[in-house]
Amino acid sequence: MNYTSNKFKNIKMKTLTKPTLEIEVKGLGKIYRADLPFNKALESLNEEKAKIISSRELAYARIKEGRNSSLSNYGSYTREGFLYLKNEPVLLALDSPLLDLELAEKAVEANKKGNYFLTDRKVYKKYREQAEKEKNNSPLNRKVLILPKRENYKVPTNKFNDDKLTLFLFKDQAENYGNFLRDNKINEMLVWLIDKSYVDSQKGTTLTQLWLHHIDDRSGVVGYDGSLNFNDRVRGVFEKPGEAGRVFEKGSKIKKSKI
C-alpha cells in the first residue's frame, strides 16, 4: 500500500515539475506558473531560465491584462520577503532570503510541520544594516525597507505614489496600480503581518515569502504566510538572451516620488 501511494505521489510530482506558460504580456514577456512547493517551484523556474516575478512586474501585468485575467483572479508568491526579529521593526527585502534554494527547502520543511521558518539572528541584522544605509534614499532605490508598523495596516489606493511601501514594491507602477485597483472598487490595500506577540516569543529571525493576493481580496500584501509546502502559485518571468533587465515598454520612465 505504501509503495503504491509513494509511486503515484512521485508520478504526480513529475507531471507538475515543468512550469506552464500562463500568458505573454506585452512589454514584459512570458509569464510561467509553477504549482509546487516553493523550493521545487524555484528549481522548476530556474530550469526554464525564468526568474520569480516581482510585485512590480505582477502589478504591471495585471494592469495590462485587466481585471478578468488569471493574473488578477489568482494570487502569487513574488520575489520579495519579510524578516522579523524580537522587538525589532519588520523588514521587507526586494530579494527574499528564501530565494536561496537551501533556505527555501528548510522553510518548506518547517511549514510542513506547521511552523514558521526560524534562522539565525545574524540574517536579520545583515538586512537591517542594508536598510539603515539606504534609509535616506527614495523607496524606489532601496533593496530593504523598514516597515512603519509591526501590526496589520492599510494603504489607501489613492496614496500609492506617496507611500513608502507601495513605491518600494511597485516602483514606477505604484500610481498606475493604485488607479487600477480603485477602478475595480478597491479603496485600500491590506498589509498582513505575523502577530508581534509570536515574533517576540522567538529567539531568531523569522522569514516569510511575500504573497500578493488576487483582486477580490484587495490585492493584499501577505507577510504571515506559512504554507510554502503547498502547491501554491509561484510565477516567473522569462528573460530572453540579451534582454535581461528589460521590464516595461520603451519610453517608460520611473516617476519621481514625493517622499
Question: pLDDT digit of tens for each residue in the chain (259 aa)?
Answer: 232 233 323 333 344 479 999 999 999 999 999 999 999 999 999 999 999 999 999 999 999 999 999 999 999 999 999 999 999 999 999 999 999 999 999 999 999 999 999 999 999 999 999 999 999 999 999 999 999 999 999 999 999 999 999 999 999 999 999 999 999 999 999 999 999 999 999 999 999 999 999 999 999 999 999 999 999 899 999 965 544 444 544 334 444 444 4
Domain count, the chain: 1
**What pLDDT shows up at residue 2?**
31
Question: Which residues span the domain enclosing 228?
Answer: 15-238
**What pLDDT shows up at residue 47?**
92
The reported pTM is 0.88
250 lies in a domain? Answer: no
Q: Please say whether the beta carbons of 177 and 59 come within 8 A.
A: yes
257 lies in a domain? Answer: no
10 lies in a domain? Answer: no
- Cα 207 from Cα 188, distance rounded (Å): 26
**What pLDDT shows up at residue 247?**
52
**What pLDDT shows up at residue 241?**
54
The distance from CA 6 to its chain's CA centroid, rounded to whole angstroms, is 32
255 lies in a domain? Answer: no
Q: Please say whether the beta carbons of 191 and 223 come within 8 A.
A: yes
Contacts of 5 (CB under 8 A, 6+ apart): none
Q: Any idea what the Cα angle at residue 20 is, between residues 56 and 77, rounded to 5°? A: 35
2 lies in a domain? Answer: no
In the chain, the amino acid numbered 239 is E
184 lies in a domain? Answer: yes
- Cα 36 from Cα 44, distance rounded (Å): 9
**What pLDDT shows up at residue 194?**
98
35 lies in a domain? Answer: yes
**Cell 534614499, located at residue:** 137
258 lies in a domain? Answer: no
